[in-house]
Each structure stands twice: as C-alpha cells, then as structure tokens.
Structure 1
Amino acid sequence: RAYEHNGDRPFASLIADSITMVDPAEMTARELFREMARRKLFRTPVRGESARKDQFFMSIANPGCAEAKRNADGSLDRDYKYGRQPGQFAIEDTICVPMEISLLPVSSTNLIRSRLPEVWTRLNAPDSPTQ
C-alpha cells in the first residue's frame, strides 16, 4: 500500500486500509500429511552414506545481468526488486545457487538457526553438499 515508484503509489487503491494475514500453511501441511499417509508415500528411513542427500538452494541477484540494479553487497536494489514489471522473462536478474551460510545475511542465518534447527544442522553437516 505504501510502496512508491516515481512518486506514485500504484497499489494504494488496490489494498484495503486494514489487512488480516492468513497463513494456510498449517492446513495445507495437515492435508498433505493425510494424503501421503493414504497413498503410503512416506519414505522408508535410510541409514549410512545414502541417507544424507540434502540440497538447499537460494536465489541471488545475477551478477551477469546488466539490467539488474544491485546494492554494494550484491543484493537487488529494493526499488528495482519490487518495481519490476511482471512477464519480463528475457531478463534473468536472479539465479538459483546452492545455499551457503557464508552467502546469507546475518538475519537469515539467525532465523534459520533459531526457527529451522533441523535445516541449520543439515546445512552445517560435514558431508553436506553445500559446504
């Protein structure tokens, strides 16, 4: 609602003054669990070398994209990031790369460590493909 681009607020008339956020993730997870149980799709636990096949990826600003406006740290400029026009498929301004803790901002690192402890453990595993 408050986003501005060239002095204009293109979304102000489209977004209500009062917004209630609804997170459907919990219900979706429950439905997925039930459906996987019904179809017997749960993975059989595996031990040993083949057990760890974790791969984590993240999107970053594409350093090879001249059109992308980037900050000094290499991240996309906020106005550029949120002001992009949809449907510009010829401009690859972000790319997916293997997640490395060293590439994450401190805030993301702290979030993963505190809220996603299993992911944090797997990211730091010695045999993790992202290390």
Structure 2
Amino acid sequence: MRPSTYRKQGRWDDAEKLEVQVMETSKTKLGVDHPDTLTSMANLTSTLWNQGRWDDVEKLEVQVMETSKTKLGVDHPSTLTSMNNLAFTWKGNGKEIEAVRIMEKCVQRYKRILGCNHPDSISCCTA
C-alpha cells in the first residue's frame, strides 16, 4: 500500500512506518537534499501532525525549510511552501510571534515571485 492510502484510512502508525522507509531510502539513494527526499520528509510531517506529535513535526519542517533554502533558494516555491507549513505549525502550537514573522516573509516572497493573484499567494495571505 501507499502511505496516502494508510493516511486516508486513519492508519497513522502504518503510514508513518512506510513514510519513514521511503524517506530513508530517498536519503540513501538520492541524497538528503534532493527535492524528492524533501517531499518525502514533508509527507511524513502530515502523518506526524495527525498523531499530535508537534515537536517531531516542527523539527522535520525546520529541516525541510532550511535544506530547501540551501538547495533550492529562499525564493523557490517549494521553499515558500515549507515556510508556510512551518508557520501553520507554529501558529497551531501557540508560537504566534514566530508564525507571524515567517508568514510575513512568505507572503512578501510569494507576491514578489508569483504575483498577488497567484493561488499560492492568495492562500498564504489567508492564513
């Protein structure tokens, strides 16, 4: 089965096990900073989120964001998505000041790179 199938069924432990396996294999075969590895890490955060494992989510999201900044650049759409994801995690965990700071950076970059009317820019602004 695919991790997304387990997630849809609410089988969080099974999804996590498979996502960790995919992530580790990606790290080994593609490298820790490969975009597909970063995507697998981001997918794992979704499962951890649903398990209420906020510290693990935050740690992984920071890693994805920092690696994306280094590998893809601070203005790359994938980096901006990772920043936005981290901001929502911080917002949900009561870290309002940090969340607002990163959301403001994210919104500015989305608007500059993609324009004010792009769906990602609009989505980021409605956080």
What TM-score bracket applies, with the shorter chain setting the length? under 0.3
| Pair member with larger Rg | 1
Higher strand share: 1
Higher helix share: 2
Q: TM-score of the superposition, structure 2-length normalised?
A: 0.26
